[in-house]
Amino acid sequence: MTLCPVAIAVGCKKCPAFALCPLKGVVGDVEKKEQEKKNKQDKAKQ
């Protein structure tokens, strides 16, 4: 379900607030698998 106007227009990944958006998996077009993969990568960087 895509509710975010930016996600509708250009997609979540092209949004300037993609990294900070807490709702990208809820109101955006990002799948949960992609979100989990990104979280793992972020944890590995720390």
Q: Give the pLDDT confidence of 1-46 residue by residue, as tens digits.
A: 567 788 778 888 888 888 888 877 777 666 666 667 777 777 787 6
Output the CA–CA distances (angstroms, integers) from residue 32 to 23, 35, in the order listed: 11, 5
The reported pLDDT for the residue numbered 30 is 67
Which structural domain, as residue segments, surrounds residue 36? 5-45
Cα–Cα dist 46/37, whole Å: 15
Rounded to 5 degrees, what angle do the CA atoms 3, 18, 13 make?
80
Name the domain count of the chain. 1
